[in-house]
Copies of this chain bind each other. A is one copy, B any other.
């Protein structure tokens, strides 16, 4: 399904430049990064900011109440690019979402399992997936005496706790957001907590929080989530972290973010986060915002930061001095002397028709040395060489580029021999 959508380019029913109003009111303080445009007709246009809002709109417009899909595509931010850290104005996102009315936390647990699997398989180093719930945060705010109108903007401030110390976050709360110092301090006691099932149990017993309906719901679901994650065998990398807030407006339940930890050989006491590589959460109200009758479709999803992951992998390759092949060519078709272009074209055509990945130099009479050098430069493992003698004998000289060994292979057995040599 996802594949077909991506291929047809009509997944969201709209081209990338969307009417600006589609994007308004979903991103909180990040909204200033929306890449607005103005078309000839004067209609305000903007480029999509993420893949979540277009997905929700797609579900609503097509009255789809049940769907699981991934989507890899470009999104746009009116931001200051920082190319070394993998931040661009145009970049790819890679999203996975599960939409539909299901029993609590089962799809949510699957999202976390997928993040765990991706980050493990990519061997990016040690990582941690922080988990929280918007309902728990809202409960914390309520019992700390924050008015409901300030919940979302307080979330944005708390979200900065991974980049700045508590003191600075506190002063933004009091100074910019207008919270009382006492309320800020009460919040501080909660949002600096992190742990596992034990912490969930403790908070369920917390005299103030346990009185708050939303917090209780959130903590109950968090307990369920940890049970499922235990069955998946991944709780070792999961931390229930009350400082995790996520800046976006649309989250309604569980939220999560994966961070890479400083490598052990960096000689530090406690693991330090070196950046977020995935994030997501539950957004049960977003589809309803696009449905004319407000019908809700609960959703949970995750976005993998593939640009950031690529930039980490690139830096690692660079540091290692490893050479990465940029093509998959298996054989170079070569000739040892002049006037043999026709022989090369005929042989390469045979190899292509047999599904062999073959290349040749686009010159009439290239020097053999140049052809072999090209193999070395680009990592092509085999050269198939035809000269007058080989044509007369009905053979092809198959050369192993690494060992320089050459063997005459009867022409009709060449394809099989190449396949045999390339077997893993």
A residues contacting B by CB (< 8 A) are 1, 4, 7-10, 14-17, 35-40, 45, 47, 74, 76, 88-92, 98, 100, 102-103, 106-107, 109-110, 113, 117, 227-228, 231-233, 306-307, 310, 326-327, 341-342, 345-346, 349, 352-353, 362-364
Contacts and interface: CB of A to CB of B under 8 A. Distances in A.
Given A36-B39, A106-B362, A88 B10 contact: yes
Secondary structure at the A interface, as helix, strand, loop or mixed, is mixed
Contact of A9 (B90, B100, B109): B90
Q: Which of A76, A228, A345, A346 has the most CB of B within 10 A?
A: A345
Given A39-B37, A345-B232, A90 B306 contact: no
Per assembly, the copies of the chain total: 2
Given A9-B88, A113-B349, 5 more contacts: A15-B35, A15-B76, A98-B362, A109-B345, A231-B349
A363 B231 contact: no
Contact of A103 (B231, B306, B363): B363
18 contacts: A1-B326, A8-B92, A9-B88, A10-B88, A15-B47, A15-B89, A15-B90, A16-B47, A37-B37, A38-B38, A38-B40, A102-B362, A106-B345, A106-B364, A107-B362, A117-B352, A231-B349, A232-B345
Contacts of A45: 37
Nearest to A324: B4
